[in-house]
Structure formats: C-alpha cells, structure tokens
Amino acid sequence: MPPMLRLPNRQPFGEIAADYPRAFSFREGLRLKGLKRSEPGYELAVRGSTCRVEYTTTSDLMRALGQWLAHPGNPGSQVPPLAFRGLMIDSSRNAVIRPEVLKKILRRLALFGYNAVCLYTEDTYEVDGHPEMGYLRGKYTQRELRELDAYAAKLGIEMFPCIQTLGHMEQILSHPNYRKFRDDDHILNIKLVETYQFIEALIDSAAKPYKSRRIHLGLDETWGLSRGRAFVPNTPIDPRNDYLDHLQKLMEICRARGLKPMMWGDIVIGMSGTQAFSEDQAAKLPKDMKMVFWNYYQPDPEYYRNTIRQYRKMGFDPMVAPGLWSWGRLWASQYVTDVSAKPFMGVAREEGISEALMTMWGDDGHETPFAANYPAVAQFADDCWYASPRVEDTKALVKAVCGTEFEAYTLPGRLDHYPGRDKESIQARANISKSMLWDDPLLGIFAKHYAGTQLGPHIKVLSDLIAEAAKGASPSDRLLFAYAKSLAEVLEAKVDLHNAAREAYVKKDLNGLRKISRSITQVIQRMRRLLKAHTALWLEERKPFGLEALQIRYGGQLVRLAEMKDRIDDLLDGKITRIMELDEEPIKLWPDPVRVSGSYGRIATISTIR
C-alpha cells in the first residue's frame, strides 16, 4: 500500500483530499511540510514521518501533489522550462461547462501543473447594458466568473478573460439591434465611433470579474476587414493599415484600464492566406501587446522555429499555442494532436519560449465531451514541465489524476481511422466517424466513397475494445464511456447501410432489400440510445444551452432513417416503382475517403448549426 500524505486541513486541500482519499488525508500518513523557495519548480523529499516539499508558487505545490499521485512514495524535483502553462477552453461553440464541473476540472488541471486558464467567450459572458450578449446561449454571469476566479486562485491557477474585439462576432451581430455594428456578418465595423463604445463595454465587463490584469482580445481570422459596410468606394485600401489602427485604439483602451492584452498573431505574420505586415507596419505594432502564435497543422519543426523567429524579428517574444484536436469531431484525437503539438512544443523549449497556451476549440457544435481530452491536456502539461517529456510519465499522471487509463481515453479516437490506413488517417486529420454518423442514409454522400468495402466488421472490433475499456474506466467516466460505446454501436450498424441498400436495389434483390428494411429498425434503436447517452453526458458536463443543436442533428437522422425504411417498404409493397435517390449514378466528391475530413463532416444534408 503506497504511503498517504497528511495534508494541512485548509483550502485548497479539502476537496483534493476528498477526490483522492487513498492518497491524501487530514488525519494519517506522512505529514506534508511545505517550505517556500525562490527558484521555480519544486523539490519533494521524504524524511522519516514527514514529506517535505519546497516550492515557489501554489501551482508548483499542486504539481508536486500530482506527481505524488502518479508516483506515490517516490520523491523528486522539477524545474519547468515554461513559466506560463495555460489552457484555453472554448465556451462559445454551444458548450458552456457548468461552474461546479469546471471546479473539478480546475482541480485536475492544478495537479497536472497548469497555472493559467481562460474561457474563450465570444458572446457567452455577461456584458453590462447588453442583455442580448449570450442570450439563450448559457453565458457565464459575472458572479459565476468571480467565484471561479477565486476558486482557481486557491489552486495556483490564474484565470483571465479571452474574448473577441473584431472578428468571430457572428453570434451577437446576428441580432437586429447589433446589425449596425457590422462590417460583414462576423467582423465589426471599425469605421464607426459607436463600435468602440460597444468594444469598451465588452472589455470592461470581461475584465471585471477577474483579479488578473491579463486579457485576450482575440483578433484572429479577420478576413474581409474593411471590405463590407466599412468599404469606401473608389478608395484604395490596405486592410493591414486599418487592422493596425484598430490595434492601437484597443491598446489605448487597455492602457487606460491597466490591462495587459494579448492577441492571436495570425494576421500580423500572414497566416491563413493573408499578407504579412510590412516592416514599416510591424514597427508600428504596440510592443506591449502580447502576440500568441497559434498553429494546429504543421508537422515540420522548422516551420515553428522560423515563425517564432519571425515574431522576434518584429520585436515580440510570442506565447505559443498548439491545438488539442477536439473540434469538429465526435471524440478528441490524441493521434492528430501529436502530429503538430509535439514538434511545436519541442521547438518552443529549444527556442527558450516561456509561455504556452493549449487551445481546446469546439467548432461545429462541440460534440466532443470534455473528459475525452484529458490525455492531451496532461501531455501538454508535461511538455511544459519536462525538458524531455516521456509518454510513460503522462500515462501515469492521467491514470492517477483521472482514474482511467490513457489508452482507454484515446481508443474511441480510432473510430476516425480508415481500416488499414491509420498513419494516412492521422496525417489527413481524418474525421470518418462524424462523416459516417451524420451522412444522410438515403443519399449516402460520404458512403459512396467506400462502396465495395465493408467497414462494419472493422467498427465491430473497435466497438468490442471500447466496451472492454469501459469496464476498467473510473466510475466518474461512466457516462463518457456509455456515449463512446453507443457511438461505436451506431456506426457499426449504419456505416454500410447505404451501400448495401443501393447494391440490393440495383440488382433488384428483393430479399436483400427486406433485410435492409429490418436492419434500419436496429439502426434507429441504436441511434435513439446514442442520443440518450450523448444527452446525459452533455447535461452532466455542460449547461443545457447548445444541446438543441445536437438533438436537431440526431432528430434529422432519425427522420431520414424512417424515410428510408418507408421508401424501401413502399417499393417492396408495390406502392412505388423506383427510389430516385438510389437510381442516381454515384459520384465521388473526394478522391479518397480518408481525405474527406477537411469538411468537418459537413457532407450530411442536415445543416450545420452554430
């Protein structure tokens, strides 16, 4: 039996001891004696009946406790290469995590060794005088954010706001009272005085609940700036100059309030097809604005090295921001995350970068459960804490802190891999499970790409593995793996449905069509179970707002499956003589089913919502 640690009977140790009663206690075990020191990191040593930990910050102490959990009874020390170790959680793509659940997440993040967290809120936070902000979207109230900020501080985590002040404003700009602020559907019109009054309200309300003076202003992906309602006909424009003017005005607003802003730096360096700032323009950038270098796609370390040096040439030591691949997917992909995040963080350490922010986006409805991300969240922490991180250490940390094996968390991500082509699937960021789930069963837009190949047996193998992994998962992950298991079962039954139906139809195989009709009933039953499992998991983790988007997608599938069965039955009963959708000659819209992933699975006829 590993030795227990006797913690001081005060915050923040109370809930941590309750979370891990076999490792921590207030009454028995080795007495924890904490001593502050000036050097970063911690040193843990056992001396007789005392466990002595020397540490600099509360975050260092929490990391020491996390390492005790992962390696009980084994003292050690760490000096982190990176001083700022943050996580950005997307709270704008439907999923707003319930505050009480976020507190549990913060405890785990502290034990991993994080010392910063920001909630990405485009409109999902309370703004004084603007009740439409976050209306029916589950916005965080200022009271909730103040409480979370105070709670995180006790764990050694600095929380700060992460908002938008130019682009990605489509939610609020869709409301009638805010159309006046539009340049286009998602960018603010920076030629209007009233726009800056609105922006000041956004910044003031965003900063108000937090003790931190940091604030992330967004400013990424502002394609179309000054080309919409702000465009002046017959006047040559350089959108970079307008962007620069806007940055300088934002900087004035922040300086007046004692705020320390940061921004996504893609527009400045010319990412995503935009033109980089000229040398003269770069020289005018406010140097007290922190640049955040994000990229989620490149496997080449030299790309990251060259871009970091590009920022430094402009006069900025950037914060780096890799991506945790949970967006546009049904389950987070540790495999795809590794392709870009590992080389990015390796170069960041080599280049002496001191600040890193892992981004956890939720584009296209935030279908991925939060808990599916724990392996990548822990791995990023180890990337910040170790000069040479080892996956064995991360696996031990995940198991100790979360109670579920690293491999169990990552296993459902293999549902996105095309059978026998795992490496290609990872490199292509394949998203097959989402494409299969939402593919219209009668049209088979995606299914046509693997006609002649049965994927059901492959999915069945994974389904059995997921069911077995679920047995050993932590009780706290019961709903998580119920969802994963139900997802695999639906895919197993649905993946070959369209191709089998069309083959039987073309061959006029009536017995085959009868079998297809009966199998549709099974798919519908499994789809209903998956809907129930996904709903239960969503409501366990998140506020109910945003769930409607997923339920509409499920509802669309159920209606279309029923329609498919009715049409086949009508054909068999002689009520109709043809099924026009199955008559149409198949066209492969993508050259390879593995490469279809770039569409985020939006090949289904059910429209993408939010």
pLDDT beyond 90 at 36: yes
User: What pLDDT was estimated at residue 1?
Assistant: 66
User: What pLDDT was estimated at residue 597?
Assistant: 56
Separation of alpha carbons 562 and 234, rounded Å: 56
User: What pLDDT was estimated at residue 116?
Assistant: 99
The better pLDDT of the pair 232, 389 is held by 389
Is 289 in contact with 333 (CB distance < 8 Å)?
no
DSSP reduced 3-state for 357: strand
pLDDT beyond 60 at 389: yes
Tell me the torsion sign for CA atoms 313, 315, 317, 319.
negative
pLDDT, tens digit (0-9, with 9 covering 90-100), for 547-572: 999 999 999 999 999 999 999 999 99
pLDDT beyond 50 at 369: yes
pLDDT, tens digit (0-9, with 9 covering 90-100), for 397-448: 999 999 999 999 999 999 999 999 999 999 999 999 999 999 999 999 999 9
Rounded mean pLDDT, 53-68:
97
pLDDT, tens digit (0-9, with 9 covering 90-100), for 67-97: 999 999 888 999 999 999 999 999 999 999 9
Rounded to the nearest 10 degrees, the angle between the axes of helix 334-350 and helix 301-313 is: 50
**Taking the model in full, what pTM does it have?**
0.96
For the stretch 232-253, what's the b/e string if a residue is b when 16 or more beta carbons lie within 10 angstroms of its beta carbon? Answer: eeeeeeebbebbbebbeebbeb
Poorest-pLDDT segment among 123-137, 270-284, 483-497: 270-284
pLDDT, tens digit (0-9, with 9 covering 90-100), for 435-486: 999 999 999 999 999 999 999 999 999 999 999 999 999 999 999 999 999 9
Rounded mean pLDDT, 306-325:
98
Rounded mean pLDDT, 222-228:
94
For the stretch 60-75, what's the b/e string if a residue is b when 16 or more beta carbons lie within 10 angstroms of its beta carbon? Answer: bbbbbbbbbbbbeeeb
Rounded to the nearest 10 degrees, the angle between the axes of helix 193-207 and helix 239-256 is: 50
Rounded mean pLDDT, 123-152:
98
| Closest among 243, 230, 173, 174 to 202, alpha carbons compared | 173
Rounded mean pLDDT, 116-139:
98
pLDDT, tens digit (0-9, with 9 covering 90-100), for 519-530: 999 999 999 999
Is 172 in contact with 186 (CB distance < 8 Å)?
no
Q: What is the largest CA-CA distance in the chain?
A: 86
Burial of 254 (0-12, 13-18, 19+ CB in 10 A): buried
Is 517 in contact with 568 (CB distance < 8 Å)?
yes
User: What pLDDT was estimated at residue 610?
Assistant: 41
User: What pLDDT was estimated at residue 593?
Assistant: 85
On average, the pLDDT of the chain sits at: 95
User: What pLDDT was estimated at residue 590?
Assistant: 87
Residue 7 to residues 72, 108, 326, Cα–Cα distance (Å): 14, 17, 36
User: What pLDDT was estimated at residue 391?
Assistant: 97
pLDDT, tens digit (0-9, with 9 covering 90-100), for 348-366: 999 999 999 999 999 999 9
Q: Which two tokens stand for residue 584?
A: 């149409």
pLDDT, tens digit (0-9, with 9 covering 90-100), for 485-520: 999 999 999 999 999 999 999 999 999 999 999 999
Q: What is the gyration radius of the CA atoms in the chain, in angstroms?
A: 26
pLDDT, tens digit (0-9, with 9 covering 90-100), for 557-610: 999 999 999 999 999 999 999 999 999 999 988 888 888 754 444 444 444 444
- φ/ψ region of 316 (left if φ > 0, alpha if ψ in -120 to 50, else beta) reads beta
**How sure is the predictor about 11, in pLDDT bands with cuts at 50, 70 and 90?**
confident
pLDDT beyond 50 at 137: yes
